[in-house]
Amino acid sequence: MSTALITGPTAGIGHSFATQLAARGHDLVLVARNTDRLEEVAAELRASYDVEVEVLTADLVDSAQLATVEARLADRERPIDLLVNNAGFGLKERFLVNEVEAEHAMLDVLVTAVLRLTHAALGPMTERGHGGVINVSSVAAFLPRGTYAAAKAWVNSFSEWAANEYRSQGVTVMSLCPGFTKTEFHERMDVTRGTGFMWLDADFLVKKALEDFDKGRVFSIPGAQYKAVVGLTRLIPTSALQRLQSIGRK
């Protein structure tokens, strides 16, 4: 039986990953800040699927707590076969309105945690000759739109490089780029969640992502509407894309 470690599995996209991976028979290690919610999800998954679920409470902004997750990934006695770097959040205000500490905390979760956890996981995975990493990025990564998009652009670049670097050692790395998805993400930012065809269902998103991962794809962009958006960003001149950045958050 293989084991997957998922960050941010108590809500939204991470919760869908936890459910769909448990349904595929993976044992799980669930990482987030709220222990009660983690225990609740763990109990729900143990009851519904014949899998073992371990709970690891950690705030990925805190380097000592992040180190406990790195140690779990590096534990060769209890191998992790799949790492899903999913935890994340956005900030409501524009760059100069946000406290720089809030910007730094976002960078810690979106970039530093992804780098450190992938580093911890890849050692044992390459030694064993198999493993996988799914990094949850965003369609925003393709647009010049503030520090959130910049962090996600790092995730794409890092994942694309790692996918090619470690493929020959049996490790599959994929960047999942969701468009707007119905989760707690916007609620936590205190902004109204939209409706309509641009809003993806998290279960659909994760189903498509796992299909892409099974095929060994480097990028997963679920939804025809978002494949079209990303296609357009490659056709529109950079100077025109840069003008779009003045709309909304910077």
Give the residues lining the site for ligand NAP (CB under 6 A): 7-14, 32-34, 37, 59-61, 86-89, 109, 136, 138, 178, 180-181, 183-185, 188
Cβ 177 to ligand NAP, closest distance in Å?
7
Q: Cα(222)–Cα(186) distance, rounded to whole angstroms?
A: 19
- Classified as helix, coil or strand, 107 is helix
Nearer to ligand NAP, 14 or 132 (CB): 14
Between helix 113-128 and helix 63-74 the angle, nearest 10°, is 10
**Bridge-partner residues for 53, per DSSP?**
28
Nearer to ligand NAP, 170 or 199 (CB): 199
Nearer to ligand NAP, 28 or 87 (CB): 87
**Bridge-partner residues for 134, per DSSP?**
84, 174
Cβ 216 to ligand NAP, closest distance in Å?
22
Nearer to ligand NAP, 61 or 91 (CB): 61
Cβ 51 to ligand NAP, closest distance in Å?
19
Helix (H) or strand (E) holding 173: strand 171-176
Helix (H) or strand (E) holding 43: helix 35-48
Cβ 84 to ligand NAP, closest distance in Å?
10
* Residues annotated as part of the active site: 148
Contact (Cβ atoms closer than 8 angstroms) between residue 179 and residue 223: yes
Contacts of 215 (CB under 8 A, 6+ apart): none
